[in-house]
Amino acid sequence: MIKLYIDGDALPNLLKPILLRAIEKQNIDTYVVSNKKIIIGKSKNIKYIIVDAGADEADNKIVEMLESSDLVITADIPLADRTITKNAHAIDHRGEFYTKDNIKHYLAMRNLMESIRDSGEITKGPAPFGQNDSQNFANSFNEFLQRYM
C-alpha cells in the first residue's frame, strides 16, 4: 500500500482541505513531517511527526521512512531528487510531478539560481501561490491516486 509523506514546513494552506478529503476518501496512511506543528486536519490516517529544527531534518526523516512507490509532496527540489532516487514519487505544491526524466534539470536550475543569489544578484522568487495552483495540484494528485491507489 502506497504511503503519503508531506513535507509540512512550506505546505500552502489552500492544499490542506484537498489533501484531507483525499486521505479520508482513499484511506491513505499519511505522515506530515515538519519542524513545527502543522495541522492538515483530524484523521485516523494522519500521523504528525515533528523533527528537530535544522535545514534538512524533515527531509532526512522522510527519506529514512520512504519506500519505493510512496508519494512525497514537497516544493524542496533536493528532497524530490532523493525521493526519485529511492524509486518513489514526488509532486510539488503546484501539481508538477518530479520524475527521473526532469529532476536533474530542476536540480540544476535550483543550484544555478542559488549561486546567482549567493553572488549578490537579486532574483524574483516564484509567483504567489493561488487558486489556480491549488486546482492544478488537485488535478495532478487525483490523477496519481487514480493510477496508483
The pLDDT value recorded for residue 123 is 74
The pLDDT value recorded for residue 72 is 98
pLDDT band for 109, please (50, 70, 90 cuts).
Answer: confident
Query: Alpha-carbon distance 119 to 52, whole Å?
Result: 30
pLDDT band for 23, please (50, 70, 90 cuts).
Answer: very high
Q: Structurally, how many domains does the chain consist of?
A: 1
Query: Alpha-carbon distance 105 to 98, whole Å?
Result: 10
Dihedral of the alpha carbons of 85, 104, 148, 26, in degrees to the nearest 10:
90
Q: Which three cell numbers stand for residue 23?
A: 486521505
The whole-model pTM stands at 0.91
CATH number assigned to the domain comprising residue 13: 3.40.50
The overall average pLDDT reported for the chain is 93
Mean pLDDT over 2-18 rounds to: 95
Query: Alpha-carbon distance 18 to 14, whole Å?
Result: 8
Mean pLDDT over 87-116 rounds to: 89
Domain hosting 104: range is 4-148
Is 18 in contact with 140 (CB distance < 8 Å)? no
pLDDT, tens digit, for every residue of 44-54?
999 999 999 88
Mean pLDDT over 52-73 rounds to: 94
